[in-house]
Amino acid sequence: MLTNQPLADRLRPKDLDEYCGQDHLVGRNGILRKSLESGNIPSFILWGPPGVGKTTLAYIVSNTLKRPFFHLSAVHSGVREVRETIEKAKKQQYFNMPNPVLFIDEIHRFNKSQQDSLLSAVEKGIITLIGATTENPSFEVISPLLSRCQVYTLNPLGKSELVELLNRALKKDTYLAEYNIKIEDYEALIRVSGGDARKMYNALELVVVSEADLYGKEEEIVITNEKVLAHVQKNISMYDKKGEQHHDIISAFIKSVRGSDPNAALYWLARMTEAGEDPKFIARRMVILAAEDIGLANPNALLMAQTCFQSVNMIGWPESRIILSEATIYLASSPKSNTAYTAIEAASGAVREKGDLPVPLHLRNAPTSLMKELGYSKGYKYAHDYSGNFIQDNYLPDEIKGTIFYEPGKNQKEEEIKKRLGKIWTDFYNYL
């Protein structure tokens, strides 16, 4: 049996000589290596895709400089945790002692107030901040904090680097060394990793454990592309924010809300939040859904979704997951109507079919005397001059006069709309 400690954690490099990749930063002439060798490390932000060594670099910096190390994840921490950690860092400061390192994983998940809480400690040198992000810090990190940090870009790991890591795992990992393992094909392991060393190690360990369960330790375990794909597809639920699983799960979430199943919707919401999906992405999709799938059956749904989006931006993680949950339940429990969507689709279809039909003269603007002489705005009936602030008139091009694009849905709200439209538009539209 393999240990419960993940392979990626067991093989985490202890110094820059063990570190694989990012030569532009940690190679012999790399800027980060030179800073580390000088002992003068500024606060900095590591920007790069998952599994390329951002967290490892932070540990190496701390270990090499022999500084206290504090680790927070923006997914699970808020302002309170940041302030508590800064207070601990203050207590560990001694005369002429270097300041502790505060590493914040997924720093882009912090909102403005959470990032503001770091400013004073960075300015005063209470901590050396190391942030890690998969998102462009120019957009996700506030300017005052960004101006006080260097930004180092990490590149995806290439094929040669991933092969090197796989071979190193077979030689150096104590637990894998108990097995007789031969990697015959590297392609599938590299392909499922997507350049993410952590994901590749997970896949390797999964295949080894699965094969060992079948054949035992004494048999040679030959890793082929076919075995990797078979075991990974069967056992790993991979959630890649830019990959197929990302699209599948948001699709399942949207369809569950559309299908009025709050329980299923909450499950898919949890799948996304647990995997580290950007809450703003989820909230944006809920705004679209509120208009497309609920619409006029419950106009307050759009207000709820919009408020959810604004609140997520204001509150930050992890509290904003409660806001997402509330909005999800509300939207899933609401009556549904897609008439706003079908109406604009129908109107767009008429535009594509008929082209640019002329605006009727009585609807045209007439800012000049010449336009008035040409009949622009002539015969226009100002609705507020009539009883009930309404007068029947034709507002469409003559060629499509009386065309109905909006068909009210069969729900309480839109039944009321249909009744009103049918009552006032007797001469132009047949709503009754």
- 180-184 own/partner pairs: CB under 8 Å, 24+ apart: 180/217, 180/218, 180/219, 180/220, 180/221, 181/208, 181/220, 181/221, 181/223, 182/220, 182/221, 182/222, 182/223, 183/223, 184/222, 184/223, 184/224
Same domain, residue pair 73 and 136: yes
* pLDDT, tens only, 323-348: 999 999 999 999 999 999 999 999 99
Last residue of a domain, one of 112, 128, 153: 153
The model's confidence at residue 1, banded by pLDDT at 50, 70 and 90, is very low
Per-residue pLDDT tens digits for 67-94: 888 888 877 777 788 888 888 887 776 6
| Mean predicted confidence (pLDDT) in 239-249 | 59
Count of domains forming the chain: 4
pLDDT value of residue 6: 81
Dump pLDDT digits (tens) for 112-150.
878 888 888 888 888 888 989 888 888 788 888 888 888
- Considering only residues 343 and 317, tell me which one the structure prediction assigns the higher pLDDT: 343
pLDDT at 309: 93
What pLDDT is stored for residue 3 in this prediction?
Answer: 55
> Which CATH number goes with the domain that contains 253?
1.20.272.10
pLDDT at 93: 67
Structural domain containing residue 326: 244-333
Residues 109, 38 share a domain: yes
Residues 262 and 211 both lie in one domain: no
- Asked if residue 420 has pLDDT above 50, the reply is yes
51 to 48, 117, 156, 159, 197: CA distances (angstroms): 9, 28, 8, 14, 5
Determine the Cα angle at 59 with ends 53 and 63, to 5°.
140
The answer to whether position 75 is within a domain reads: yes
The residue-averaged pLDDT of 274-290 equals: 89
Mean pLDDT of 158-180: 84
pLDDT (mean) for 297-324: 91
For residue 62, give every residue at least 6 positions away whose Cβ sits within 8 Å of its Cβ, in sequence order, or none.
Answer: 68, 69, 101, 103
Q: Within a domain: residue 248?
A: yes
pLDDT at 243: 47
More confident position, 407 or 77: 407
Of 177, 212, 235, the residue at which a domain comes to its end is 235
